[in-house]
Structure 1
Amino acid sequence: MRFAHPEPSPASARIWPVFLPFAGCPHRCVFCAQDKQTGRDDADLDAVRRELETDLQGALNQGRGPYELAFYGGTFTALPAPWPETFLALADRFRKSGLISRVRCSTRPDCVDPDGLKLLAALGLDMVELGIQSFDDGALRASGRGYSGKMALAACAVVRDAGLALGIQLLPGLPGDRPGLFQSDVRTAAGLAPETARLYPCVVVRGTPLVDLWERGGYAPWTTDRAVHELAEALPVLWAEGVRVIRLGLAPEPTLDANVLAGPHHPALGQSARALALFEIIRARVRELGRRPSVLEVPRRYSGEFFGHARELAPTYFELGFAEGSIRFAETELFSLE
């Protein structure tokens, strides 16, 4: 029995991230800690521009690239004029030289409008990642997001209508969470067929309003085990619609790591979730096989994540019927089960 991993192929271009913490944000959400995530307290936009121009020129001189330029950490479409246009003009200059192949930004669903996005698209913006967080009104209200699920859906349509690629960011385990909510959000997101998705389980970070709610017993974050299982269940749903899941959990950052007080923040969260999702796929194939498996040949590119963090899934594979040495990694594109 031969089968492919259902995950869509990764993008070829490397990302050049530009962090604009809190820049353009209309207010602070209860969970938000951009200063801890980026290691910067705020964004001096002119300093960011000068540093970016210098670094891009250096990369061009060294013959590096191409890169996809990505503006993260703030609300790009709500930056004061003329900053969106200024950053896009800089990107266009280096696009013409071949260093930049694409430009994306992140923003809020309540900070996009048809005319504004069409203008940015004409200036060279290619993709918008919307920080949806949830499509559920209750969770959005409890988290202080300031918009509704209906507005989030409408924002996705606005991005598409402007001719831009769509990315969706979800933040499961928010205040107002309930069983099944995240999987419902995932199905909604998958149905919109975005190009990419990021899944960031909510954590309690020092200095955010969420700390007080957590300390008073009004908020219970997910455990790491629950996060792994919820993410593993979500991945195949998104993969089935061709959605590339480009981040699971917050990226490690010393400033952030030192300030997480509670919640599923673990450097191997993504590895564990992806490994568990793959295990469930293989378990279904073993059931189709209808007997004890003798050999599983695995494409070598999955060797680093196959057994999960610290080989946590090795005993589970043995319980499934695989003997020691029956799982082999090979230079192949397809899995082979016998």
Structure 2
Amino acid sequence: MTGADKPAFGVYVHWPFCLSKCPYCDFNSHVRHAAIDEDRFARAFLREIETTAARVPGRQVSSIFLGGGTPSLMQPRTVGAILDGIGRHWRVVPDVEITLEANPTSVEATRFAGYRSAGVNRVSLGVQALDDKSLRELGRLHSAREALDAVAIARGAFERYSFDLIYARPDQTPEMWAGELELAIAEAAEHLSLYQLTIEQGTPFFGLHASGKLRTPDEATARALYDVTQEICARHGLPAYEISNHARRGAECRHNLVYWRGEEYAGIGPGAHGRLDINGQRHATATEQRPEAWLMRVEANGHGVITDDRLNSEERADEYLLMGLRLAEGIDPRRYALLSGRTLDPRRVALLHDEGAIAIDADGRLRVTQAGFPVLDAVVADLAA
């Protein structure tokens, strides 16, 4: 499959709770010191699945992703109930990809067999670093040894697994990162997510960075770290299929491809986003972020949706451009024209091509080059203008 020639439908389920809040994280995650009523939340998930399926009946689910937060804090029976609920209201394809995000702690790794029995067939581990000093600085609760042990347990429990690492960390050099990446690739069977550390507003790291107490690599070093990432991963047969994701051929995360290819997905749980096609129109949905407020909305109304916008043709096209150009496979300009009602400006396309930022394949697909990926935002802005 190389784009929009085969429709897909994904279901994203957001578990919003974490044991602690990492200082770099701006995701919708919440720490609760009192016990969480997991059964009550499970019932709300099932109710929102039912209500969403009534809006978009007859879909065929090709991927399910349990994200967070920390979904591996859920009991396996809760995960099983959610998956059963999805299967009751939509048809699930026989080879469905079902991913669960997990922290690589020894406590959560003991649940892997239970998740496998519940139906999960792929796990994504938030390793983030493979040295203890960096893990402490990132606010992670596991050690490097614990992370590698969890990867080994995942390898035994699941046919498919992936893990995340963050680079461009304070004081990190390309040589240090190269060694860490080689170790990671030796442990990774088919997929790695490798993210440059970004300083997000509203996080503790933002305040530390603004005050000069947190120093990240300068632009030249960050570019060198990116180049090292691409070279080492490609050499080991894990090329980038998306700007931050690397996989062996055929092992790409199918659920994330749903997002990047502009396909349809349902968002379930606190702060979940969705893209639903209803009566020929694309709806952009978002649910209440605060877990307890979402819970009460679902119990009262059957869903926690607080935003339900109909995207016009220009918004749909811009979204397709923004997401699709993150992929190594790029976009089909003909699909862009169908969505927007206009073609991409040939003069802008030609200029970016001459600058080496984009390439045009024999079949007409337009993709960002390795030289263009570090300035992807500027490329997208230029094409969308």
Instruction: State whether TM-score is above 0.5.
Output: yes
The structural deviation recorded for 1:272 is 8.8
- Aligned position for 2:135: 140
Consecutive unaligned residues in structure 1, runs of 5 or more: 1-8, 37-42, 256-266, 276-295, 314-338
Q: Quick one: structure 1 residues 136 and 79, their matched pair in 2 at CA, closer, same or farther if it must change by over 3 Å? A: same
The structural deviation recorded for 1:31 is 0.7
Q: Deviations over 1:187-223 (max 9, x none)?
A: 1221123322212211112222212321331212345
SS in 2 for 1:204: coil
Q: What TM-score do you get using the length of structure 2 for normalisation?
A: 0.56
CA contact (8 A) 1:110 1:151 kept: yes
Counterpart residue identity of residue 27, structure 1: S
Q: Quick one: structure 1 residues 134 and 223, their matched pair in 2 at CA, closer, same or farther if it must change by over 3 Å? A: same
- Aligned position for 1:28: 21
Q: How do residues 235-314 of structure 1 correspond to structure 2 at under 5 angstroms?
A: 235-243=230-238, 245=240, 247-248=242-243, 300=363, 303-306=366-369, 308-309=371-372
The structural deviation recorded for 1:27 is 0.7
Q: Deviations over 1:285-326 (max 9, x none)?
A: xxxxxxxxxxx995547642137549989xxxxxxxxxxxxx
Q: Deviations over 1:57-100 (max 9, x none)?
A: 65451xx4442111122211112575323223234546864387
Moved more, 129-138 or 82-91: 82-91
Is 1:190 the equivalent of 2:185? yes
- Aligned position for 2:12: 18
Q: How do residues 95-174 of structure 1 correspond to structure 2 at under 5 angstroms?
A: 97-98=92-93, 101-110=96-105, 113=108, 115-174=110-169
Q: Quick one: structure 1 residues 304 and 181, their matched pair in 2 at CA, closer, same or farther if it must change by over 3 Å? A: same
Consecutive unaligned residues in structure 2, runs of 5 or more: 30-37, 246-258, 261-272, 274-285, 287-320, 330-358, 377-385
The structural deviation recorded for 1:127 is 0.5
CA contact (8 A) 2:71 2:102 kept: yes
Q: Quick one: structure 1 residues 191 and 85, their matched pair in 2 at CA, closer, same or farther if it must change by over 3 Å? A: same
Structure 1 CA distance for aligned equivalents of residues 188 and 118 of structure 2: 25
Counterpart residue identity of residue 85, structure 1: G
Counterpart residue identity of residue 161, structure 1: G
Q: Deviations over 1:95-121 (max 9, x none)?
A: 864387121011111166555211211
Counterpart residue identity of residue 305, structure 1: V
Structure 2 CA distance for aligned equivalents of residues 302 and 268 of structure 1: 15
Structure 2 CA distance for aligned equivalents of residues 136 and 85 of structure 1: 34
CA contact (8 A) 1:228 1:273 kept: no
Is 1:50 the equivalent of 2:47? yes
CA contact (8 A) 2:242 2:328 kept: no
Structure 2 CA distance for aligned equivalents of residues 269 and 217 of structure 1: 33
Q: Deviations over 1:127-178 (max 9, x none)?
A: 0000111111111111111211111111110101113411111111234634
Structure 2 CA distance for aligned equivalents of residues 100 and 89 of structure 1: 16
Structure 2 CA distance for aligned equivalents of residues 17 and 208 of structure 1: 28
Counterpart residue identity of residue 73, structure 1: G
Greater share of residues in strand: 2
Q: Quick one: structure 1 residues 311 and 76, their matched pair in 2 at CA, closer, same or farther if it must change by over 3 Å? A: closer
CA contact (8 A) 2:62 2:97 kept: yes
Aligned-residue identity in percent: 19
Structure 2 CA distance for aligned equivalents of residues 28 and 187 of structure 1: 29
Q: CA RMSD in A?
A: 4.3
Q: Quick one: structure 1 residues 89 and 300, their matched pair in 2 at CA, closer, same or farther if it must change by over 3 Å? A: same
Equivalent residues, number: 264
Structure 2 CA distance for aligned equivalents of residues 180 and 85 of structure 1: 43
Q: Quick one: structure 1 residues 245 and 128, their matched pair in 2 at CA, closer, same or farther if it must change by over 3 Å? A: farther
CA contact (8 A) 1:31 1:205 kept: yes
CA contact (8 A) 1:104 1:128 kept: yes
